[in-house]
Amino acid sequence: MTVDPLVRTAAGVVRGRWEGDVAVFRGIPYAEPPFGPRRFAAPVEAQRWDGIRDAVAFGPPVPQATNRSSVMSSVCDRTDDGSDDCLTLNVWSPDPGFAHLPVMVWIQGGTYLENNCANPHYDGAKLAASGVVMVSMNYRVGVEGFAHIAGAPGNRGILDQIAALRWVRDNIAAFGGDPDNVTVFGQSAGGACIAALLVMPSAAGLFRRAISQSMPGTYFSERLAAAISTTIAGELGAKATVDELARTPPRALTDATEAVIAKMPELVESWGPMALTPTPFSPVVDGVLLPEAPWRALARGAARDVDLLVGHTRDEYRLYTSRPGGAPTDARTTAAFDHLAPTDYRTAYPDATPSERYELLNADWLFRMPSLHLADAAHAGGGPVWLYELRWSFNREQGASHCLDFLLVFGTLGADEVRAHRSAHPNAANEITHVSADMRIDWVNFAATGTPGWTPYDPRTRTTRVYDATPTTRPYPEERSRRIWSAHEFDTLDLLRTE
């Protein structure tokens, strides 16, 4: 009979369970519930408990539009169903004890609006079985985590991530991990949070390596963030202050956020390019917690002692345009090229249709070029950096779309699911196993040794690992887009004008 694994943390003993050859611990609190007097505050370290705490189920999700638990309608200190106790993390370990294995800490994306570690595509079993201790976390999103609120610290969702990383530093050795060899990795909003963590003083020393996958290049000034929060609060007839919003149930705030998202394109003249994105939230450059946008800070040498792997997928924006109703309207296309493009895409892509150029523009502005420029900035600052692009895809509709890379790294997109897709490529179900293994092995090698196995990035050669049915190492493949954006400086987005 298999004995359930027990681990003593600084707060108390947790009991997980063996799932195959991996010990899994779910729902471990790393901070106190962020409600009642702690609503919109910085995270507070979890209190100690007596006895043994079962850690076999994921903790409740943080407030978000899809959440149906009682915390969504409550403003009190505790909820009957425990759904307020949402700042939890999870650990997968092949060898709980003192094995000193590399540690990989996952920071998921979700447009700064969604966050739920229970998503089966974030299962860390395959990564852990490859020889690392894998950690994932819930962190606050939406108004709770990223809105600019008078009287509250900014970037609360990232402060949650830092609190979880401190928990890792203090506790992960007992799970078999090496606290001196921690790699943070994340995708989309999670990748942009990692870029922020690289240059945040309060995160210094908490990780040794970082992997930023498909980071969006949006970081807000306080003025822009304040205008957005004022508009969201105004939907409820409130002010964007702690005193007023702390009396507002999370459900009302998510509803107000969705109402503002629907009319964001109408606000592009005042809010600027961010109004054409799918979310009203991003990290806020406040000069203190986040001193400046990551590109500037990295180029000046911030985090030069942190190994960095950064990259994107080829068809980043196809995820959005391939959805029902996702095809751009003429008005949307005009607005995008008026407010996003640094030059005429027709010259660089003469054979592309208007909708294809729209997709390329959004892929470049929002994901591909911010990632490439982050590599350039890290290199300029003297830090070691590697670059990748995912070109492999399994279906014609989405191509190598946003989010496909993390599914391959985690190995949670199966051959049967690929085979069942209505536009699957003929050999995709056979290819996915080894494409997934290629990426996962490289990510694990990077976490273990500080190199993923190919030549570091240099702006002169632009060496890039390109993941396809057979991976290759070659100069950066998106040369036409690189040239379009070569003179552009990604930086903090500001309010263009007040209403």
Q: Could you tell me the CA-to-CA distances from 411 to 103, 122, 181 in Å, in that order?
A: 18, 9, 23
pLDDT at 497 over 80: no
- Percent of the chain past pLDDT 90, that is, above it, reads 89
In single-letter form, the type of residue at position 375 comes to: A
Confidence of residue 1 (pLDDT cuts 50, 70, 90): low
- Kind plus residue range of the DSSP H or E element containing 273: none
CATH label, 1-499, candidates 3.40.190.10, 1.10.1240.10, 3.40.50.1820, 3.90.1530.10: 3.40.50.1820
Give pLDDT, residue 142: 98
As a dihedral over the C-alpha atoms of residue 265, residue 63, residue 41, residue 133, rounded to 10 degrees, the angle is: -110
Q: Which two tokens mark 359?
A: 């997709």
Residue ranges per structural domain of the chain: 1-499
pLDDT at 4 over 90: yes
Q: Please pick, among 69, 83, 136, 188, the residue that the annotation labels catalytic.
A: 188
Report how far residue 130's alpha carbon sits from residue 101's, in angstroms, rounded to the nearest whole number.
11
Confidence of residue 87 (pLDDT cuts 50, 70, 90): very high
Task: Specify the residue for token string 């009319």.
Answer: 263
Mean pLDDT of 298-315: 97
Q: Please pick, among 32, 114, 316, 431, the residue that the annotation labels catalytic.
A: 316
Mean pLDDT of 297-308: 97
Which phi-psi region, left, alpha or beta, contains residue 394 (left: φ > 0; alpha: ψ -120 to 50)? Answer: alpha
Q: What is the pLDDT of residues 36-69, one digit of tens each?
A: 999 999 999 999 999 999 999 999 999 999 999 9
The answer to whether the CB of 387 falls within 8 A of the CB of 363 is: no
Whether 74 is catalytic? no
- Kind plus residue range of the DSSP H or E element containing 181: strand 177-187
Give pLDDT, residue 76: 65
The answer to whether the CB of 284 falls within 8 A of the CB of 290 is: yes
The answer to whether the CB of 96 falls within 8 A of the CB of 413 is: no
Mean pLDDT of 203-227: 98
Q: What is the pLDDT of residues 365-374, one digit of tens each?
A: 999 999 999 9
For 451-470, letters b (16+ CB in 10 Å) and e give: bbebebbeeeebbbbbbbee
pLDDT at 77 over 70: no
Report how far residue 451's alpha carbon sits from residue 446's, in angstroms, rounded to the nearest whole number.
4
Mean pLDDT of 481-499: 92
SS (H, E, C) 74-124: CCCCCCCCCCCCCCEEEEEECCCCCCCEEEEEEECCCCCCCCCCCCHHHCC
pLDDT, mean over the chain = 95
Mean pLDDT of 114-140: 96
Confidence of residue 94 (pLDDT cuts 50, 70, 90): very high
Minimum mean pLDDT range among 78-87, 316-325, 440-449: 316-325
pLDDT at 190 over 90: yes
pLDDT at 417 over 70: yes
330-339 helix and 354-363 helix, angle to the nearest 10 degrees: 40
The DSSP code sequence of 411-438 is T-S-HHHHHHSTTB-TTHHHHHHHHHHH
Whether 401 is catalytic? no
Task: Specify the residue for token string 């990426």.
Answer: 439
pTM: 0.96
Quick one: 350 exposed, middle or buried, by C-beta within 10 A (0-12, 13-18, 19+)? exposed
Half-sphere exposure of 94 (CA within 13 A, CB side): 14
Give pLDDT, residue 66: 94
Whether 212 is catalytic? no
Mean pLDDT of 416-434: 91
Which phi-psi region, left, alpha or beta, contains residue 453 (left: φ > 0; alpha: ψ -120 to 50)? Answer: left
Q: Please pick, among 148, 373, 379, 402, the residue that the annotation labels catalytic.
A: 402
Minimum mean pLDDT range among 265-279, 336-350, 366-380, 432-446: 336-350
Mean pLDDT of 191-207: 98
